Amino acid sequence: MKSDNVKVGMQQAPARSLFHALGFTNEEMKKPMVGIVSSFNEIVPGHMNIDKIVEAVKLGVAEAGGMPVVFPAIAVCDGIAMGHIGMKYSLVSRDLIADSTECMALAHQFDALVMIPNCDKNVPGLLMAAARVNVPTVFVSGGPMLAGHVGGRKRSLSSMFEAVGSFAAGTMTKEEVEDFEEHVCPTCGSCSGMYTANSMNCLTEAIGMGLKGNGTIPAVYSERIALAKRAGYAVMELLKKDIRPRDIITKEAIENALTVDMALGCSTNSMLHLPAIAHEIGFDFDISYANPISEKTPNLCHLAPAGATYMEDLNEAGGVYAVMKELSDIGLINNDCMTVTGQTIGENIKNSVNRNPEVIRPVDNPYTKTGGLAVLKGNLAPDGSVVKRSAVDEKMLVHEGPARVFDCEEDAIDAIKCGKIKEGDVVVIRYEGPKGGPGMREMLNPTSAIVGMGLGATVALITDGRFSGASRGAAIGHVSPEAAVGGPIALVHEGDMISIDIPNLSIELKVSDEELEARRKEWKPKEPSITTGYLKRYCALVESGAKGAILKLPGDET
């Protein structure tokens, strides 16, 4: 056992004395030591129930003959961090989570791990750590929130942000906004639509690192506790069989995840996280690789914000496995990939049934014949940009309009809410990329303001930052190269015409090459907004959004 390095032999007597200080018995020290990575905290609603999940996992591990030991992982609530300096710390927390988990797992020589994430960057950060540490590992998330109910309709957090825009437009009263405020988030759990947290928890199932239901069983269901116990049992089986994360997280498994992503209509943030996870196993994931997969993958689900169904509905319809079975039936899933069940994807999903063809469209009746995400390229985004096309109004799939240029999110929000943005405009928010932000803030506030102001079918938004999974509309993010490094988005002038053609995967600035070259010669780098602390180090190390905003030292190709 790996933990013998800290438990066995005379040389480890001092370490054993410290285990005795923890209350370990000699009998416990003979068992495999399983790290339970708990992201429990009291500030993120998706994490407030994780203490219950932890206790269930511990029980499962102990019943299966292991010694469970809990240690923490941090998590940022994107909804609370939204719209201020806090959002600069959201994406960057992913790498802190991965690094700190690697430190804890290797410093203490755990034999196996159970990861318990839930929200946004917590999930990919722990997947990255699992690939690095490479001891038998199972994921079990905290689970999604139930949908809220306002005015007799199901609602979620995206509705709340859009209500603020509606209030600014004068179409909603303060009392109506307060009704939303009190009822859109009725339980603990990751927010109830197909936002980033739920996207990544579902994709964890698709990769094979989570058990059935990991992404969809609601946080408040007792079934979630049973799932946690089964995760404890499963990790001990993986340890016996010596099945490790790099046996599961393979190029083919990531291709499966990307295929499922397209069918589910996941958050654009998956196009940051899948490349980062791929990097940990040595797979150079180019975001434009998404387009050929999208072209052959039907979009089967329209969960909020794209439609009026929610995670609880997807769970009742058969969950991720039912979606994968639909895709497998037309040859789009690699069924031979290994999973944490000790069986292959094909074996796991063979008996899955689609119980609600309104929630999970059959492959012969998809919402669209192409997937939920698209990567657009052109002279404005030579290295690519990302749009959640399943959440774009049909009228905005092809659009041309004048640029309204802002060098930060706050200025754009002020202009939108003051009525300065008109039908047909293309809002450009720059210097919000991985380096320029720094931290690549989410633009949920401006996209929600656009929708709330009644402009969702007439105004586009383009940014080198990123979007929340709760964003909808013609929202095009991850524009690369970013403005901070002199990308073409830095050269856009107020009033320049921008052409967007999502079906043909293009985004063009209607300015001549000669004029762009002249502007490039005049361009000067913007002074960084943060010059101290972790964000300063992050800014120095972070790569392009087109590469997953991974951290790399100069000359590091590993």
Give the whole-angstrom CA distance, residue 41 versus residue 441.
22
Of the residues 468, 471, 480, 544, only one is catalytic, namely 468
* Stated length of the chain: 558
Strand partners, 387: 374, 476
Give the dihedral sign, CA 389/395/397/402.
negative
| Residue type (1 letter), 512 | S
What is the rounded CA–CA span in Å between residue 378 and residue 380? 5
Nearest CA-CA partner of 96 in 118, 73, 69, 79: 73
Q: Where are the alpha helices (DSSP H) in 194-269?
A: 196-207, 222-241, 245-248, 251-264
Residue 398's DSSP bridge partners are 501
What burial letters (b/e) apply to 277-316, b meaning 16+ CB within 10 Å?
bbbbbebebebebbbebbeebbbbbbbbbbbebbbbbbbe
Phi-psi region at 52: left, alpha or beta (left = phi > 0; alpha = psi -120 to 50): alpha
Cis check for the bond before 382: say yes or no (omega within 30 of 0): no
Q: Does the annotation count 468 as an active-site position? A: yes
Q: Is 100 exposed, middle or buried (0-12, 13-18, 19+ CB in 10 A)?
A: middle
Question: What's 116's DSSP letter?
Answer: E
Three-state secondary structure call for residue 295: helix
Cis amide prior to 305 (ω within 30 degrees):
yes
Strand locations in 355-446 (E):
374-378, 381-387, 398-406, 426-429
First to last CA, the chain: 28
Q: Of the candidates 188, 195, 232, 234, which has an alpha carbon nearest to the alpha carbon of residue 215?
A: 195
Structure token pair of residue 33: 């030591």
> Cα dihedral angle (145, 146, 150, 155), rounded to 10 degrees?
70
Give the pairing of strands 381-387 and 475-480. antiparallel
Catalytically active residues, by annotation = 468
